[in-house]
Amino acid sequence: MARLKRLRKILNPPSMKGFKPYGQESDTEEKEPVTLLYEEYEALRLCDYDNCNHAEASAIMNVSRPTFTRIYASLRQKLANAFVECRPIVVEGGKIYFDSDWHYCMKCHCNFNNPDKDRSIESCPLCGNQTFETHNSELETAFVMSGNCAEICVCPVCGEKVSREPGTACNQLVCSSCGAPLNRRAGYRRGSFKNQ
Amino acid sequence: MKVAITSTGDSFDSMLDSRFGRCSYFVVYDTESKSSEFIPNPNKNASEGAGPASVQLLAEKNVEKIVSGEFGMKIKSLLDSLRIQMIIIKEPKSVRDVTALLNH
């Protein structure tokens, strides 16, 4: 089995969901959108907006430099496709986690965030203990984004969708309501883009 | 202050539900009056949008913190704008354990 993808860290998620072309030459019906992954948006932002080089950007996203270059190459191809073929762009999905203000309590082993940015946290909201540390590695699995690359299995009989644990195959799971073996979601890895 | 806890059942001995949007019950616990309310989750079997609907339900109850095992991605930005704190517990704990911790 192929090695699992490393989670990519996203510092600033996009403030929109996508883009649409306007003023096309021919009035055809809307074309199928190009799906940009969050990690690709982040690669574009780091590389071309923040002017980082690939090595710096890869360190920020917590992936290797070659992987970053592959993400960036995939982004360039998708953007070029969208522009040339007048297709809308949708930003969704990706194997990512978000970097934000998270803390971990040493006493009750809970993770919590700070909803009020103006005030700093003094004690654990759960047990009141004052020893906690700020980090986010524990949360990597808690915020895996779902989208076109989501690890989702579909029941062929009733259509129920079940998310699967990375590393398990869909056909080894059965549907909870009708007991049929599950299929991998149709459309997964659709199109000519290979997801890194 | 009101705290919402996701629960697998309708008693204090039930375990914390590791999912947020599709948990079985919400326990709304008031840390001042020590009162609690068990609310069956109407979005338990929703195919989509269970998380935001659950957030709305809890926001109407004026909770300030939510304790659960995991939160989906749609929820984080919603809760941030509502200034509701998320607390994630990965270990199996019963609702009674969580309320005991809240009464530190």
**How do residues A75-89 score in pLDDT, each as one tens digit?**
999 999 999 988 999
Helix locations, A62-179, DSSP H: 65-84
Q: What is the ipTM of this complex?
A: 0.76
Q: What is the mean pLDDT of residues A42-64?
A: 90
Q: Give the confidence band of A165 by pLDDT, cuts at 50, 70, 90.
A: low
Host H or E run for residue A42: helix A38-44
Q: Does A171 touch chain B (CB under 8 A)?
A: no
To probe the interface with B, which of A101, A108, A137, A154 has the most B CB atoms within 10 Å? A108
Contacts of B65 in chain A (CB under 8 A): 125
pTM of the model: 0.51
> Tokens 């509502």 identify what position?
B82
* C-alpha span between A71 and A53 (Å, rounded): 14
What backbone phi and psi angles, to 5 degrees, belong to A175? -70, 135
Q: Give the confidence band of B27 by pLDDT, cuts at 50, 70, 90.
A: very high
Contact B86 A113 (CB under 8 A): yes
Contact A110 B88 (CB under 8 A): yes
Neighbours of B37 (CB within 10 A): 12
* C-alpha span between B11 and B36 (Å, rounded): 10
Q: Does B86 touch chain A (CB under 8 A)?
A: yes
* C-alpha span between B1 and B33 (Å, rounded): 9
Q: Does A152 touch chain B (CB under 8 A)?
A: no
Q: Computed from CA positions of residues B49, B21, B63, B10, in that sequence, does the dihedral angle turn out positive or negative?
A: positive
Q: Does B73 touch chain A (CB under 8 A)?
A: yes
Radius of gyration of chain B (CA): 12
| Residues within 8 A of A (CB atoms), B 33-72 only | 47, 65, 67, 70-72
Q: What do you get for the CA distance between the two ends of chain A, in Å?
A: 15
pLDDT above 70 (res A56): yes
Q: Which two tokens stand for residue A178?
A: 């009708």
pLDDT above 80 (res A144): no
**For A76, which DSSP code?**
H
pLDDT above 60 (res B32): yes
Which residues pair with residue B15 across a beta bridge?
Answer: B94
Closest CA to A169 of A151, A156, A155, A157: A151
Q: What's the confidence (pLDDT) of residue A167?
A: 62
Lowest model confidence (mean pLDDT) among A145-149, B3-7, B78-82: A145-149
Phi-psi region of B6 (alpha: psi -120 to 50; beta: other; left: phi over 0): beta
